[in-house]
């Protein structure tokens, strides 16, 4: 009996630490490595971080870029769910992984250039802040982690469309 109790304690401790580590990593990831805690314009800061990530990933083959985006998207769903439970809010401003994904989808598969990235950033932030249809509709109608992510994906796709229309000859890889 004493032997069982001695063995069960380390397992309970391990389980506690594993759950704490999952929560820590989820919050770290969903807040853009804590950039979401910057008190002024955390979404804009998250978008800048997203551009930095996109510029580095943009050096890779398009199939690897797509795989990394999909993996990040899927990890974001879990991380945001955990973070929402932590903050107890519907859409805490500290969560910026959605902005990272939104700006990333804006510039993915375009040539890495200052002009494309600057225009993508401006268009994405306008659509993310003003929330024209369908961005606002998605924001209002889809709740939870998917709503948080998908409205920024929609804003990113709208910004991507504008870049493609304006810079189509010089933007495509």
DSSP single-letter state for residue 35: G
Distance CA 36, CA 19 (A): 22
Distance, first Cα to last Cα, the chain? 67
pLDDT in tens, 92-134: 999 999 999 999 999 999 988 899 999 999 999 999 999 999 9
What is the pTM for the complete model shown?
A: 0.87
Q: Where are the domains of the chain?
A: 66-173
How many residues in total does the chain contain?
Answer: 173
Cα distances from 162 to residues 21, 84, 122, 126, 155, in angstroms, run 41, 32, 11, 12, 11
């Amino acid at each position: 009996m004493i032997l069982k109790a001695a063995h069960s304690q380390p397992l309970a401790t391990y389980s506690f630490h594993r759950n704490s580590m999952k929560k820590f990593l989820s919050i770290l990831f969903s807040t853009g490595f804590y950039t979401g805690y910057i008190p002024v314009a955390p979404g804009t800061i998250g978008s800048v971080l997203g551009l930095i990530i996109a510029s580095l990933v943009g050096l890779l083959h398009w199939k690897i870029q797509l795989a990394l985006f999909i993996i990040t998207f899927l990890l974001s769903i879990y991380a945001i769910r955990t973070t929402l439970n932590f903050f107890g809010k519907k859409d805490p401003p500290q969560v910026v992984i959605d902005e990272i994904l939104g700006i990333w989808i804006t510039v993915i598969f375009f040539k890495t250039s200052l002009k494309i990235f600057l225009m993508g950033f401006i268009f994405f932030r306008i659509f993310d802040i003003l929330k024209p249809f369908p961005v606002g509709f998605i924001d209002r109608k889809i709740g939870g982690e998917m709503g948080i992510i998908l409205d920024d994906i929609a804003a990113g796709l709208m910004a991507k469309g504008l870049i493609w229309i304006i810079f189509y000859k010089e933007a495509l890889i």
